């Protein structure tokens, strides 16, 4: 977004918040009257609440909070207005966080992220979710929708290289683990590899920060730092300032699919329940028989202090999904350069496979993703109680349901609407078989004990109970 340079009356500083006006980025100033009215509409079907929440999250970039309610309450007077003029649409911000501005001008990266929010909300709603040509009841239609959203966000580069490494991990991690993610990112940058994360703080920021130094040393000036998020968590995990390509997917499932369709390799750092969700999502997909020969390097790594964390994850995977799932990843502890070398070697296999079958480098069409991994899961008390968590299920189906269970806990931790439902009706009840119940309970209890659920871990109250 290009903002005006006049300080008064377009810029009014009130200390912690201020007012400002700006022009959207190229193309978005020609929104139709219908689209503008949708953005203004606070009622059912209107886009204003979604736009306000996402833009406020972007303006809050760099702050140390993962409490969406606290953010919205702190800036409860924040508003967005739209001024239609002959030369296009102007955005007016009222009571915006002052730390998003320097000397009366919005920080450039935040301005770009604001533009991405407007672009993705308008495009996804009007051109994908409301368009009957996208059959969102079937797997191919959902994948096609994901493709169109990321293409519209200009994430598909041509000619493409096999060089995009997805990094997963927790936002609530300690300093030692954060520094380790930077070291791994640095090694990736030295090898000319680009980084994609969930765009937030912690293990989502560290690899990007390290990669910027590696790229700088190699005189790489077009490094890619891709951030993929979704409206339900963006307020709790505001985009970090290093992200230079941001996309807001409509829901968690499309976000996860975007990761594995765009990425050429996966690195998993220490995290909490959200990281466990991502691990189970990917393993569930890779366990499908159609993906048996699909190369996708997956490395779990952390400093020596995180060895116990990965032992817990490995034991849980072995006990629930078996050795076939364990064979799809490697664990490398306290060796950033070995991680980068392992990923780089794995990318060679990915390049060879896609070349052999004539597949695109920029989007993995061949990967089979069943609809049970694509259909949006809304975490309600009824839905969480109804999850089938029995070891007698096929491995990829059990992985899908375990993923939903962890996704529901993530929602309870970070989504304001889910947190309110838990306050009203009590914690989620998750019912598992006698064999899986103690495994889940032990893993989740370890996340709580290690402070991996929330940044303010001392005051964390579990939003769930695991029962038999």
Cβ(248)–Cβ(117) below 8 Å: yes
pLDDT attached to residue 89? 73
* Gap between the Cα atoms of 432 and 406, Å rounded: 13
In-domain check, residue 133: no
Contact criterion met (CB below 8 Å) for 146 and 261: yes
Q: Are residues 217 and 275 in the same domain?
A: yes
Kindly report the number of other CB atoms within 10 A of residue 37's CB atom. 14
SS (H, E, C) the chain: CEECCCCCCCCEECCCEEEEEEECCCCHHHCCHHHHHHHHCCCCCCCHHHHHHHHHHHHCCCCCCCCHHHHHHHCCCCEEEEEEECCEEEEEEEEEEHHHEECCEECHHHHHHHHHHHHHHHHHHHHHHCCCCCCCCCHHHHHHHHHHHHHHCCCCCCCCCCCEEEEECCCCCCHHHHHHHHHHHHHHHHCCCEEEECCCCHHHCHHHHHHHHHHHHCCCCCCCEEEEECHHHHCCCCCCCCCCEEEECCCHHHHHHHHHHHCCEEEECCCCHHHHHHHHHHHHHHCCHHHCCCCCCEEEEECHHHHHHHHHHHHHHHHHCCHHHHCCCEEEECCHHHHHHHHHHHHHHHHHHHHHHCCCCCCCCCCCCCHHHCCCCCCCHHHHHCCCCCCCCCHHHHHHHHHHHHHHHHHHHHCHHHHHHHHHHCCEEEECCCCHHHHHHHHHHHHHHCCCCCCCHHHCCCCEEEEC
Asked if residue 107 and residue 185 are part of one domain, the reply reads no
Residue 195 shares a structural domain with residue 96: no
pLDDT at 64: 65
Q: Note whether 84 and 190 are same-domain residues.
A: no
- pLDDT at 11 (0 to 100): 45
- Report residue 56 CA to chain centroid gap: 17
Residue 135 within a domain: no
CB atoms within 10 A of CB 301: 27
Query: pLDDT digit of tens for each residue in the chain (468 aa)?
Result: 444 433 333 444 444 778 887 766 655 556 777 777 888 887 777 788 888 888 888 998 876 666 667 777 788 889 999 877 656 677 889 998 888 888 888 888 998 999 899 899 989 998 999 888 899 999 999 999 999 999 999 999 878 899 999 999 988 788 999 999 999 999 999 999 999 999 988 999 999 999 999 999 999 999 999 999 998 888 778 899 999 999 999 999 999 999 999 999 999 999 988 899 999 999 999 999 999 999 999 999 999 999 999 999 999 999 999 999 999 999 999 999 999 999 999 999 999 999 999 999 999 999 999 999 999 999 999 999 999 999 999 888 899 999 999 999 988 887 888 888 999 999 999 999 999 999 999 999 888 888 887 666 667 788 888 887
Q: How far apart are CA 398 and CA 284, in angstroms?
A: 8
Domain limits at 323?
160-468
66 with 212, same domain: the answer is: no
CA pair distance 370, 287, nearest whole angstrom: 11
Instruction: Give the integer Cα–Cα distance in Å for 387 and 371.
Output: 16
pLDDT the model gives residue 65: 64
- Domain termination residue (choose one: 100, 119, 138): 119
Residue 153 lies in a domain: no
Residue 347 has a pLDDT of: 97
Domain CATH number, residue 93? 3.30.1850.10
Query: Is residue 146 situated within a structural domain?
Result: no
| Residue 150: inside a domain | no
Identify the pLDDT of residue 73.
Answer: 78
Give domain status of residue 371, yes or no: yes
Number of separate helices (H) and strands (E) present in the chain: 17, 16
Instruction: Specify whether 75 is located in the same domain as 200.
Output: no
pLDDT of the residue at 29: 52
Task: Please indicate, yes or no, whether residues 59 and 186 belong to a single structural domain of this protein.
Answer: no
| Assigned token pair, 411 | 């929602």
What is the CATH number for 360? 3.40.50.450
What the block records as the tokens of 218 is 């190699």
Which of 119, 151, 170 is at the close of a domain?
Answer: 119
**What's this model's pTM, rounded to 2 decimal places?**
0.90
Same domain membership, residue 438 and residue 363: yes
How many domains are contained in the chain? 2
Does residue 369 share a domain with residue 442? Answer: yes
The 10 Å Cβ neighbour count of residue 107 is 16
What pLDDT does 396 receive? Answer: 85
Q: Which pLDDT score, from 0 to 100, does residue 321 have? A: 93
Residue corresponding to tokens 């996402």: 54
Q: Are residues 362 and 280 in the same domain?
A: yes
Tell me, yes or no, whether 468 lies in a domain.
yes
| Residue 272 forms part of a structural domain | yes
222 and 107: one domain?
A: no
Contact 240, 208 (CB under 8 A): yes
Contact between 261 and 294 (Cβ < 8 Å): no
Q: Where does a domain end: 119, 151, 178?
A: 119
Q: Are residues 379 and 313 in the same domain?
A: yes
């Amino acid at each position: 977004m290009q903002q005006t340079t006049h300080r008064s009356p377009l810029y009014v500083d009130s200390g912690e918040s201020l007012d400002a006006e700006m022009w959207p980025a190229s193309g978005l100033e020609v929104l139709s009257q219908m689209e503008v009215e949708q953005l203004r509409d606070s009622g059912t079907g209107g886009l204003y609440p979604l736009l306000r929440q996402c833009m406020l999250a972007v303006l809050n970039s760099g702050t140390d909070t993962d409490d969406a309610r606290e953010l919205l309450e702190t800036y409860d007077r924040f508003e967005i207005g739209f001024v239609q003029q002959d030369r296009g649409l102007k955005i007016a911000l009222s009571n915006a966080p002052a730390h998003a501005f320097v000397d009366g001008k919005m920080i450039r990266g935040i301005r770009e992220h604001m533009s991405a929010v407007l672009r993705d909300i308008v495009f996804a709603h009007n051109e994908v979710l409301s368009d009957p040509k996208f059959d969102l009841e079937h797997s191919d239609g959902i994948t096609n929708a994901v493709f169109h959203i990321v293409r519209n966000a200009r994430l598909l580069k041509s000619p493409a290289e096999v060089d995009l490494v997805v990094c997963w991990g927790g936002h609530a991690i300690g300093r030692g683990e954060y520094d380790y993610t930077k070291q791994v990112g640095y090694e990736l940058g030295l090898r000319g590899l680009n980084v994609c994360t969930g765009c937030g703080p912690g293990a989502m920021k560290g690899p990007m920060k390290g990669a910027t130094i590696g790229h700088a040393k190699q005189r790489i000036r077009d490094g890619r730092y891709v951030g993929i998020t979704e409206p339900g968590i963006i307020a709790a995990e505001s985009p970090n300032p290093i992200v230079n390509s941001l996309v807001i997917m409509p829901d968690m499932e499309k976000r996860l699919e975007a990761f594995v369709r765009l990425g050429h390799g996966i690195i998993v750092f220490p995290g909490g329940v959200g990281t466990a969700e991502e691990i189970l999502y990917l393993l569930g997909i890779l366990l499908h028989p159609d993906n048996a020969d699909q190369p996708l390097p997956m490395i779990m790594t952390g400093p020596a202090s995180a060895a116990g964390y990965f032992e817990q994850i490995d034991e849980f995977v072995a006990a629930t999904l078996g050795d076939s799932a364990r064979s799809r990843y490697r664990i490398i502890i306290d060796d950033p350069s070995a991680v980068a070398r392992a990923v780089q070697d794995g990318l060679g296999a990915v390049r060879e496979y896609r070349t052999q079958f004539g597949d695109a480098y920029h989007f993995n069409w061949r990967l089979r993703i069943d609809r049970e991994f694509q259909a949006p899961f809304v975490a309600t008390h009824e839905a969480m109680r109804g999850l089938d968590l029995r070891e007698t299920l096929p491995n990829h189906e059990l992985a899908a349901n375990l993923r939903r269970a962890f996704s529901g806990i993530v929602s309870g931790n970070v989504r304001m609407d889910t947190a309110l439902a838990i306050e009203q009706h009590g914690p989620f009840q998750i019912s598992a078989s006698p064999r899986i119940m103690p495994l889940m309970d032990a893993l989740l209890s370890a996340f709580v004990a290690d402070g991996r659920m929330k940044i303010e871990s001392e005051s964390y109250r579990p939003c769930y109970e695991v029962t038999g």
